């Protein structure tokens, strides 16, 4: 070997893509549809937003209901999926907006070559070792003359807002279901308490009528009627 020699300096290649406008406008300008609305509202804008976001189930001041709602919100898969969709569309907004900024890419390559060379007929000379380095830089920037990037961002934002409303709808449906079921259960508990009290009252009345029947104050028909009312009241308790 005759030694190693660096054959050339580092080569830097910068390729600037240039500005290439798109061929046509991407869709018409968005126009908000006309919607007939009342001249006056029961609540102002701020009040309506506050009302929509309030934890209305907390107004019952029932810690059991509060805990049930918390557990349902944490465990329900529909709520998790809806929240993930909101995060997904929020990320898409960032991706769409990034297209409005310069895009930069780079690359690098390095290597070594060993080249044999001959001297004269049948004689070998020393090998030559060649090192090479290549670097590249790519810069591209699309100027949004026709609004493609802006409209893609607007569409992504609209998707995110729609996903957020879906998430709120899922939460509202879930919480309403939990609260309705819980209130229904509490209502049945109260009905059971009332039915038991009523049954106890009927039992006392039956005992009183039995004494009156023994003394001949009332007829057997009247006693049978009060006993029938007692049995009818007792029959409602298992259903509750």
- Domains in the chain (CATH in brackets) are 11-23+60-239 (1.20.1600.10)
Residue 12 predicted with pLDDT over 50: no
Q: What share of the chain is helix, strand, coil (3-state, %, to 5)?
A: 55, 15, 30
Task: Provide CB contacts within 8 A for 212, sequence distance 6+.
Answer: 218, 223
Residues 96/156, Cβ–Cβ less than 8 Å: yes
Query: Which residues are paired to 134 by β-bridges?
Result: 11, 109
Average pLDDT taken over every residue of the chain: 77
What's the average model confidence in pLDDT over 226-233? 90
Give the residue-averaged pLDDT of 197-201.
Answer: 91
Q: What is the pLDDT of residues 41-92, one digit of tens each?
A: 665 655 555 555 668 888 888 999 999 999 998 988 988 999 899 999 889 8
Among 6-20, 31-45, 212-226, the range with the most confident prediction by mean pLDDT is 212-226
**Which residue in this structure is represented by tokens 């390729």?**
15
Report the pLDDT value the prediction gives residue 104, as an integer from 0 to 100. 78
Q: How many CB atoms lie within 10 A of CB 101?
A: 10
| pLDDT tens track for 155-187 | 888 999 999 999 989 999 999 999 999 999 999
pLDDT tops 60 at residue 15: no
Distance of alpha carbon 112 from alpha carbon 109, whole angstroms: 11
CA distance 209 to 223: 6
CB atoms within 10 A of CB 16: 10
> Phi and psi dihedrals of 92, rounded to 5?
-65, -30
Per-residue pLDDT, 26: 54
Q: Which residue would you say has higher pLDDT here, 5 or 167?
A: 167
């Amino acid at each position: 070997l005759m030694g190693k020699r660096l054959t050339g300096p580092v080569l830097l290649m910068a390729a600037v893509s240039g500005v290439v406008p798109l061929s046509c406008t991407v869709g018409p300008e968005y126009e908000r549809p006309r919607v007939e609305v009342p001249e006056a509202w029961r609540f102002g804008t701020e009040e309506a937003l506050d009302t929509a976001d309030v934890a209305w189930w907390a107004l019952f001041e029932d810690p059991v209901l509060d805990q049930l709602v918390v557990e349902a919100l944490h465990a329900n898969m529909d709520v998790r999926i809806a929240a993930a969709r909101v995060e997904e569309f929020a990320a898409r907004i960032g991706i769409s907006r990034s297209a409005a900024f310069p895009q930069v890419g780079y690359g690098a390559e390095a290597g070594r070559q060993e080249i044999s060379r001959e001297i004269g007929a049948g004689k070998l000379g020393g090998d030559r070792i060649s090192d090479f380095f290549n670097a590249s830089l790519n810069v591209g920037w699309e100027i949004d003359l026709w609004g493609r990037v802006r409209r893609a961002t607007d569409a992504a934002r609209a998707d995110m807002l729609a996903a957020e409303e879906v998430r709120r709808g899922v939460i509202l449906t879930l919480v309403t279901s939990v609260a309705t079921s819980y209130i229904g259960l509490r209502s049945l508990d109260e009905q059971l308490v009332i039915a038991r009290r009523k049954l106890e009252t009927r039992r006392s009345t039956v005992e009183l009528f039995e004494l009156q029947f023994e003394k001949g104050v009332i007829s057997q028909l009247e006693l049978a009627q009060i006993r029938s009312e007692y049995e009818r009241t007792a029959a409602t308790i298992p259903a509750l």
